[in-house]
Structure 1
Amino acid sequence: MSAEHEQHRLFLPLVFVGGILFGFGLGFSHMAQPEVVLSFLQFTDFGLLFVMFGAAIVTGVTFFGVERFRSRAPLTGAAYGRRLKTLDKNVVVGGGIFGVGWGLSGICPGAAYASLGIGNVPILYGIVGMFVGAYIQGFWRSTRAESSTPATTAD
């Protein structure tokens, strides 16, 4: 990293504080309780809609407003920029698999960790499943990439 893009010394402590705030918010809003999330997904409790709406407002203001006031991130010095992902087969299939997993477990990955904080120890099965699934997907992708690499004359 160049000197102009060096991280501020408060970067990691602020990330930690942000994580604590995020986890507390998930617990406070009951999003860390799979039963509440499943009730939302079954259209019987719409309370989480307000939580997501609040998060969307903060995110929208941040993503679309901060570039007007600052050209670089205050703690990292990196230039702001958006990385747009095209809507392709991988995004649709991966999103579908993620959604089915969320619906079956009643919890998304971030809330799963917060759920541990409220004493939901059985969620460890889901967390282990997320790690195993991510490992399998990474192994599958690397195997697929190796098999599609053309052979060279050195092979």
Structure 2
Amino acid sequence: MRVLVSLLSGVIFGLGLMVSGMTDTQKVRGFLDVFGAWDPTLIFVLGGAVLPMVVAWRVAAKRKTSPMGEAYPGKPSTRLDGKLVLGALLFGVGWGLGGFCPGPAMASLSYGGWGGLVFVVAMFAGMAIERRLA
């Protein structure tokens, strides 16, 4: 059952990314170009993601287990360190240069195109290199 719920969640997430325009690299670059031809429409995507999560976090805080019966993970660290800052910087640079972040890049694989494939291969290579360096 867990695999089916995961698959369904992934499909809904991917469709949402495609419908919202997050897989359109030109739209993403337009959103990030705040000093040029700024396209603010992706703010609605952000709001559409953050607002339901606020509700979900409040509901989850009152429960001991997930709807699938598993324990919730512990709270992540709130410590701001060099690794977090460097990771955020690299993520932002990659997002700005490529017009993709990991979720939309994976969703873009469903409709073809070399850009998404190259990004995903580079993303996995970067993760493998980081594991070796860590």
| TM-score of the aligned structures, taking structure 2 as reference length | 0.90
Please name the residue that 1:40 is paired with.
Answer: 31
Q: Unpaired segments of 5 or more residues in structure 2?
A: none
Deviation of 1:79 after TM superposition, in Å, equals 4.4
> Identity percentage over the alignment?
36
Aligned counterpart in structure 2 of residue 67 of structure 1, from 61, 77, 87: 61
CA RMSD, 1 decimal: 1.5
Query: Are the equivalent residues in 1 in contact too, given 2:60–2:66 (CA < 8 A)?
Result: no
Q: Whose radius of gyration is greater, 1 or 2?
A: 1
Q: Unpaired segments of 5 or more residues in structure 1?
A: 1-9, 142-155
User: Which deviates more, 88-97 or 17-26?
Assistant: 88-97
Residue identity opposite 1:56 in structure 2: V
User: Which deviates more, 89-98 or 112-121?
Assistant: 112-121
What are the Cα deviations for residues 45-103 of structure 1, in whole angstroms up to 9, with x where unaligned? 111110111100111111123322x2211214314642224111110111111111111
2:17 matched to 1:26? yes
Give 1:1-155 correspondences, 5 Å limit. 10-43=1-34, 44-68=38-62, 70-79=63-72, 81-141=74-134
| TM-score of the aligned structures, taking structure 1 as reference length | 0.78
Query: Are the equivalent residues in 2 in contact too, given 1:27–1:118 (CA < 8 A)?
Result: no
In 2, the alpha carbon distance for the partners of 1:82 and 1:23 equals 26
